[in-house]
Amino acid sequence: MTKTEGYLDHAIFKLVGSTARELGVRAFVIGGYVRDCFLGIPNDDIDIVVEGSGIALAEAVAAKCGAKVSVFRNFGTAMLKYKGIEVEFVGARRESYDRSSRKPVVEDGTLEEDQLRRDFTINAMAFSLQEDDFGALVDPFGGIKDLAAGIIRTPLDPEQTYSDDPLRMLRAIRFATRLGFNIVPESLDAMKRMAGRLKILSRERIVEELDKMLLTKKPSTAFRLMDQTGLLEQFFPELVRLKGTETVDGKGHKENFSHTLEVLDNVVLFEQEAGREPNLWLHWAALLHDIGKPVSKRYSPSLGWTFHGHEVVGARMVPQIFKSLKMPLNEKMKYVQKLVALHLRPIALVDDQVTDSAVRRLLFDAGEDIEDLMILCNADITSKNPAKVARLRRNFELVKEKMAEVEAKDEIRNWKNPISGDYIMELFGIEPCNTIGQLKEMVKEAILDGVIPNTFEAADAFMRERAAELGLYPHD
Ligand code: ATP
Ligand code: MG
C-alpha cells in the first residue's frame, strides 16, 4: 500500500470516514476518482464503496452535514450532493453473471471482491477512508503500474470479463482513446472473440459510449479499434462498408473509411482552433458525411470512379441509421442530415466562378449552420498530396471571404421573406390559395439570384408586377 497525499482534502472524505467508523463499517473511494487523481484530471464524481449498506452510510453522512441525498433502493445506491461534488455510495458486491444478459446476480461482498468485478485495473483502485490508514491506496491488480505504463487491462480473464458485460469492450476502447493508452494484446484478442456478445446490449448503452468516443480529442482511434476488433460490424455495418478500395484499369479510389476518420479528427481540431466547444452533432455529421458513397460508387472508363449523388443518398441514410441505433429522430438528426446533404456545396464553389448568387443560395440553404458546414467542408479536404491540400485550403479561404462579403451586404443567413402571406392577402383582398405561395417563391428566387436586392421595397414592387401578370391588382 502506498500513502497518498493531497487527493482527499475535501471535507467530505473525513466525514465519510468518521461516519463509517461510527456505523462499524469500512468505506473507500473507488474507481474513476482515484484514477483521475493520479492522472491529474479534475473529477467531481466520487464513488464510495462500503463494506455494508451504502444507503445507510449516505443517509448518516447526509444527516450530519445537511446535504441532499437521493436513494435508489432498486440499485442499492444513494447519491449525495455536497459543496459542488456528487458522491455516490454503494455497498461492496460480489457478482456472478448469467450468460443471457448484463444483469448479474449480486451479493454483498468485501472490498477485494468488489474490486474484482471492476472493469479495468486502472478503474479498480481504492483509497482507504479508515482513520488508521486514511488515504492508503488499495491496488491489488497493479492499477498504478498500468496507469504509469498507459495500459488498459482487466483484473480477471478478459474473455470472461467481456462476456459477462460486453459494454466493457466499448469502455476499454473509450478509455484507451481518451487517455491515449494501449489495450493489452490479450484483451484485444478477447474482444475479437467476444464481439458477438454486444448483441445483449441495448443500442442506447452503445450510443452512450459512441457519443463519449466522438467527444475525445482523436475519435479516429476509437473507430479504428472498434473496427479491428469486429465490434463496429455488430452495430454499425454502414461504416464498415466504407472500407477498402477497388482498382479498375489501374485506377483506384480514395479509401473512404480512413478518409472519414481523418475528416472526423480534422473537425475536432478545427473546432478547437476556432475556440469552439466540441459539438457532438457536428462530429456525427463528419462520421456520416460520406456514408452514401458505397451505394453511389460507379466506374466508367471515361470518368474513372465517381460517387455522384452520394450526399443525397447519405442524407437519406441518416434517419435509417439513427433509427437502427435507437437515437431520437429529432432536430439533431435533421441537423446531421442537413450537413451531410450540403457537405459538397462550399467546396464546389472553389472550382466555379464564385458568383454572388451561388453564395447566397448556400447561405440560404445552410442558414444558421453555415459555420458548422464550413468546418466540415474544410475538414473534408484531405489528400495524400500536401500541395493539393494547401491549394484547396487557400481557395477555400477565398470562398469564406466571399461569403462574409455577401452576407454583410445581403443578410441571407437568417433570411425571412420580406413579403408575408398575410400582406399579399390583404393587398389583393384574396383568401388563402396557391398563388400566395407562388408569389412568395418568386420573390425568394429573385432575391437569391440577385435580380432584386433583399429589401421590402424592392420585393414589394417586384411582387406587384408578377401579380399583375396573373391578373391580380391591389383592391381598395
Ligand atoms: P468517467 O470519467 O467516464 O465517469 P469512470 O471510471 O468514473 O469514468 P463510471 O462509468 O462513472 O466510469 O464508473 C465508475 C466506476 O465503476 C469505474 O471506474 C469502474 O470501476 C466501475 N464500472 C463502471 N462500469 C463498469 C462496468 N461495465 N463493469 C465493471 N466496472 C464498471
Ligand atoms: Mg464516473
Instruction: Answer whether 178 contacts ligand 1 (Cβ < 6 A).
Output: no
Residue 3 confidence (pLDDT):
42
Kindly give the number of the ligand 1 atom that is closest to the alpha carbon of 174: 3
End-to-end CA distance of the chain: 93
Nearest CA to ligand 1 atom 28: 119
Instruction: Answer whether 164 contacts ligand 1 (Cβ < 6 A).
Output: no
Instruction: Answer whether 118 contacts ligand 1 (Cβ < 6 A).
Output: yes
Cα 44 to the center of its chain, rounded Å: 22
Query: Could you give phi then psi for residue 108, rounded to 5 degrees?
Result: -60, 145
How far is the C-alpha of 246 from the C-alpha of 404, rounded, in Å? 40
**Cα–Cα distances in Å, from 367 out to 120, 213, 362, 416?**
46, 28, 8, 11
Distance 20 CA to ligand 2 centre (A): 22
How far is the C-alpha of 221 from the C-alpha of 84, rounded, in Å? 33
Nearest CA to ligand 1 atom 9: 32
How far is the C-alpha of 24 from the C-alpha of 18, rounded, in Å? 10
How far is the C-alpha of 238 from the C-alpha of 226, rounded, in Å? 13
Which domains are assigned to the chain? 2-149 (3.30.460.10), 156-209+221-235 (1.10.110.30), 241-409 (1.10.3210), 421-469 (no CATH)
Kindly give the number of the ligand 1 atom that is closest to the alpha carbon of 47: 14
Nearest CA to ligand 1 atom 17: 31
Burial class (CB in 10 A: 0-12, 13-18, 19+), 169: buried
Unique residue bearing C-alpha cell 433583399: 454
CA atoms within 13 A on the CB side of 322: 20
* Beta-sheet pairing, 45-50 with 68-72: unpaired
Residue 98 confidence (pLDDT):
67
Query: Which of the residues in the chain have pLDDT under 50?
Result: 1-3
Kindly give the number of the ligand 1 atom that is closest to the alpha carbon of 43: 2
Residue 102 confidence (pLDDT):
66
Q: Do 27 and 14 contact (CB within 8 A), yes or no? A: no
Q: What is the pLDDT of residues 43-76, one digit of tens each?
A: 889 999 999 999 999 999 999 998 899 999 988 8
Please report which ligand is nearest the Cα atom of 28: 1
Cα 184 to the center of its chain, rounded Å: 26
Distance 328 CA to ligand 2 centre (A): 25
Nearest CA to ligand 1 atom 18: 31
pTM over 0.75: yes
Sign, CA dihedral 204-320-349-294, equals positive
Distance 32 CA to ligand 1 centre (A): 6
SS (HEC) of the chain: CCECCCCCCCHHHHHHHHHHHHHCCCEEEECHHHHHHHHCCCCCEEEEEECCCHHHHHHHHHHHHCCEEEEECCCCEEEEEECCEEEEEEECEEEEECCCCCCEEEEECCHHHHHHCCCCHHHCCEEECCHHHCCEEECCCCHHHHHHHCEECCCCCHHHHHHHCCHHHHHHHHHHHHHCCEECHHHHHHHHHHHHHHHHCCHHHHHHHHHHHHCCCCHHHHHHHHHHCCHHHHHCHHHHCCCCCCCECCECCCCHHHHHHHHHHHHHHHHHHCCCCCCHHHHHHHHHCCCCHHHHCEEECCCEEECCCHHHHHHHHHHHHHHHCCCCCCHHHHHHHHHHHHCCHHHHHHHCCCCHHHHHHHHHHHHHHHHHHHHHHHHCCCCCCHHHHHHHHHHHHHHHHHHHHHHHHHCCCCCCCCCCHHHHHHHHCCCCCHHHHHHHHHHHHHHHCCCCCCCHHHHHHHHHHHHHHCCCCCCC
Residue 101 confidence (pLDDT):
66
Distance 306 CA to ligand 2 centre (A): 46
Kindly give the number of the ligand 1 atom that is closest to the alpha carbon of 33: 7
Kindly give the number of the ligand 1 atom that is closest to the alpha carbon of 124: 20
Q: What is the pLDDT of residues 325-377, one digit of tens each?
A: 999 999 999 999 999 999 999 988 876 577 888 899 999 999 999 999 999 99
In one letter, which amino acid is 22? E
